[in-house]
Chains A and B, each alone.
Chain A
Amino acid sequence: DVKVTQSSRYLVKRTGEKVFLECVQDMDHENMFWYRQDPGLGLRLIYFSYDVKMKEKGDIPEGYSVSREKKERFSLILESASTNQTSMYLCASSFPDAASSYEQYFGPGTRLTVT
C-alpha cells in the first residue's frame, strides 16, 4: 500500500510565525504536490515538485515556499503565517506518467489554524 504521511493532523500557530508542514511518501514517487482544501473552493495547488531540488509554482504560491532535499520528503513552509492561511493542507505523490494507471495518492491532511 502506498503511504503518504503528514507530520501533524492538527496545528495551531500564531500570526507571523514560520510554519513547517512535512510530507513523506514511501513509494519512490518522483512527483509530490501540496494543495490546500477549503469549503466551496475545492483543492487548489500551491506547489509541486518533479524531482529532488526541483519545484514549480501552482495556482496559489503566494506566502508559501517549499523544499525537497530528499526524494521521499516534501516540505511546505509558511514564511510568516497569516489568518487567511488557516486551512486544510493536503500532500500528494505520484509517478510521473503511469498512462492508464495514473493516480495521485493523498496524505491524511494537516488542519492548520492561524490565530
Chain B
Amino acid sequence: AQRVTQPEKLLSVFKGAPVELKCNYSYSGSPELFWYVQYSRQRLQLLLRHISRESIKGFTADLNKGETSFHLKKPFAQEEDSAMYYCALRPFGGNTPLVFGKGTRLSVIA
C-alpha cells in the first residue's frame, strides 16, 4: 500500500526565514513524488515533481530514498508563499491516481 505522511498540519514562519515542509512516504517500489499547492480561493495546482529536478518559485525538493522522504524547502519565505501544501505519490510508470498526504498549511508572518 502507498501512504504519504505530512506530520505538520500548520507551519508558521517569519518572512525571510527558511521553510521546510516535511513529507515521508511508504511504498515498496519506485515512486514518483509531487508537491501540489493551493493558494487562497484558487484551485489545487502542481508545484513541482521530483523527476524534473526543477525549482519553482524558489522551492526545491529532493527525493531521499533511504529516508523515504521528499521534503519541500525554500531558503527565504515570502508572504505570498502562504498556502496549503500537499505531498503526493504514485508508482513510477503506472497509471494510478495520486495518493495525497493530509496537507500542511504554511503561514508566513510579515
Q: Do A and B bind each other?
A: yes
Binding site for B on A (CB under 8 A): 4, 31, 33, 35, 40-45, 48, 50, 58, 90, 92, 96-97, 99-104, 106-109
Complex Cα distance A80/B100, Å? 27
**Are B97 and A102 interface neighbours, CB within 8 A?**
no
* Nearest-CB residue, chain B, relative to A100: B51
Q: Does B86 contact A (CB under 8 A)?
A: yes
Q: Interface of chain A, helix or strand or loop or mixed?
A: mixed
> Which of B13-21, B42-50, B67-75 lies at the interface with chain A?
B42-50
* Nearest-CB residue, chain A, relative to B51: A100
The number of inter-chain residue pairs (CB within 8 angstroms) is 49
Which A residues are CB-close (under 8 A) to B100? 35, 42-44
* Contact among A44, A92, A97, A100 with B95 in the assembled complex (CB-CB below 8 Å): A97
Complex Cα distance A52/B94, Å? 19
Which A residues are CB-close (under 8 A) to B52? 100-101
Complex Cα distance A101/B48, Å? 10
Q: Does B22 contact A (CB under 8 A)?
A: no
C-beta contact mask, B68-110 vs A, less than 8 Å → 1, else 0?
0000000000000000001000100111011111110000000
A23: min CB distance to chain B, Å: 12
